[in-house]
Structure 1
Amino acid sequence: MKSDNSQNWLNLKHDSATGIETLHAHFEGHAYDSHWHETYVIGLTESGVQQFDCRHKTHNSLEGGCFLSEPGEVHNGRAPCEGGFTYRTLYIPQGWLRDQIGTLYEQMPDQFELSFNNTLCADQRLAAATSSAFLAKHLEDPKIVQEGCFDHMVHALTQHINWRQKKQGENGHNLAYRIRDYLHDHMEEDILLQDVAREFGYDRFQINRAFKNAFHISPHVYLIQLRLARARTFLAKGMRASDVAHQLCFSDQSHLGRWFKRAYRLTPAAYQKCCTPIPDKG
């Protein structure tokens, strides 16, 4: 599938059984605007240099290197060098990865969440395992082959994860985390920042400042990204784009489409088509 730039292309597939998505893509120049996913992101840069901002740093993922991102981590993407970059990525649902990791341990902490040690990783074992898992899923190998490849990848991934206590407002950011929870609870309502301020007894400027100090993003941008991530979930389930737009408080379908394409380089209709299983013939 071609993008706006004739040199750009992407191929996305969605596995309805597991919710895992695979993306194979090439970009030159600007790749995508800042956004985040509700899934874990495990990827491999095939060629070129992939540059992106995440965790308040600029990263350069080089050929053969892995990149790792947690749910909710804001990132963007661009090609700083001529010729662009090509990469393959696995989008893994939180519950699926936690269940798979859980099979490797006798006990897992209840109040902790899975976290990646670093955004970039030069582990050749993980790179090879990620590539194999990607190809098995993307090319729709027999399920037992997919299972074996993903088991191998999860084993390799354990060297790059830790358990982090679920964030409830450490380092004096209690208000910001309460605001975040409020945005999650009201993402399907057409709320104003003034509503948030009234809820917590502060003015809009205090709310905005507290949130940005904790998350380095404004509440309204966070809410848009939250709605876009949820739109992917709704579209994958077959909901009409017009209904998704209405449910998530976009003014209309075209408004959703503009934001969606800026973040994911696909229209909602194109994304939904990738998620629609093709019936077996015969």
Structure 2
Amino acid sequence: MQKEFSAIWRSPKHSGIELFHAHFRSFAFNKHWHDELAIGIIQAGAEKLDYRGQSNIIPQGNIVAINPGEIHTGYSGSEQGWHYRMFYFDTKLVTQILRQHSSPGKTPMPFLKGPIIHDPELFKLLFQLHCSLNGTHLPLAVDSLLTLALTKLFANHGDQNLSPRNTKDISAAIKIRNYLCDHWQYNVTLEQLCQLTEMSQYQLIRCFSKHYGIAPHQFLVLYKIHQARLLLQQGLNAATVASECGFFDQSHMSRNFKKTFGITPGRYLKSM
């Protein structure tokens, strides 16, 4: 039986692409989001994905597609777990490539219908692209695969009208989110948020959770984790990052980092 493993690295020739390769059986991701467009290929087994209020099984040979900012989980959908490869594409890179194939003056929206795509030809393209970004391949080959894969992905499975957020009147939820993003280095209290919105604790949590899918405290921890990743990319050690991000201690950060990105901060730092 294959052991669990995970590895993450950034493409040396394309700074806007982060790559992940893993096999998990008992490990499960907590609710989280990615700032990037997350595209994966399931090579063996099956992944179970909670996304947009639905539970989805993504079996071998299929593609998983998660739009930027969408909250989701990931865990085993079969006894053998799931073996997969992921791309995390910076949205600026995606837009830049798609704009080359759009009508003049029209800016494409990098959103996908997802989260399950069955497209054997695209699956093969993505697998080749992932391998090429991890090996010694001619730049022409890598760039060609990248352009072909993303263009085909959005041409066949994109939705120009898809919005990643509900557009109802959620000014209070947005105000809470903005406050948490502006004060992420601190341990914001529920009382502070209640004063900000003039809502009761129950109303506040319900309002925020309805719009974002997680409670305010969960969002704050996730935001801290995303900031921690940026600081690690700058070369800071894990202990310093934990302190800078306002975690209780390094182990507190490490647990949440692993649950979010599938790898420990120490191993992530070594991959930079």
Give the TM-score normalised by structure 1: 0.87
CA distance 1:248–1:113, change in 2 (3 Å): farther
CA distance 1:102–1:62, change in 2 (3 Å): same
Q: Aligned match of 1:254 in 251, 258, 264?
A: 251
Q: Aligned match of 2:127 in 123, 126, 131?
A: 131
- Which segment is superposed worse, 55-64 or 78-87? 78-87
Is 1:51–2:48 an aligned residue pair?
yes
Q: Aligned match of 1:192 in 177, 189, 192?
A: 189
Equivalence map 1:41-120=2 (5 Å): 41-105=38-102, 106-109=104-107, 113-120=109-116
* Partner residue, 2:270: 273
CA distance 1:255–1:174, change in 2 (3 Å): same
Distance 2:87 2:213 in 1: 26
What SS is found at the alignment partner of 1:245? helix
Distance 2:243 2:159 in 1: 39
Contact 2:42 2:83 in 1 (8 A): yes
Distance 2:251 2:136 in 1: 33
* Partner residue, 1:201: 198
What SS is found at the alignment partner of 1:116? coil
The CA RMSD over aligned residues, in Å, is 2.2
Q: Shift of the alpha carbon at 1:169?
A: 6.5
Contact 2:58 2:77 in 1 (8 A): no
- Over residues 129-159 of structure 1, what are the superposed CA-to-partner deviations in whole Å (9 max), with x where a residue is unaligned? 2112111112242322211110111111122
Contact 1:169 1:175 in 2 (8 A): no
What SS is found at the alignment partner of 2:184? coil
- Over residues 205-246 of structure 1, what are the superposed CA-to-partner deviations in whole Å (9 max), with x where a residue is unaligned? 221111012122101101111221222222123222223212
Distance 1:22 1:126 in 2: 17
Aligned sequence identity (%): 24
Q: Shift of the alpha carbon at 1:6?
A: 7.5
Contact 1:30 1:78 in 2 (8 A): yes
Letter of the structure 1 residue corresponding to residue 117 of structure 2: C
Distance 2:81 2:162 in 1: 38
CA distance 1:108–1:233, change in 2 (3 Å): farther
Number of residues paired by the alignment? Answer: 269
List runs of 5+ in structure 1 lacking aligned partners: 276-282
Give the TM-score normalised by structure 2: 0.90
Letter of the structure 1 residue corresponding to residue 106 of structure 2: M
Q: Shift of the alpha carbon at 1:254?
A: 2.1
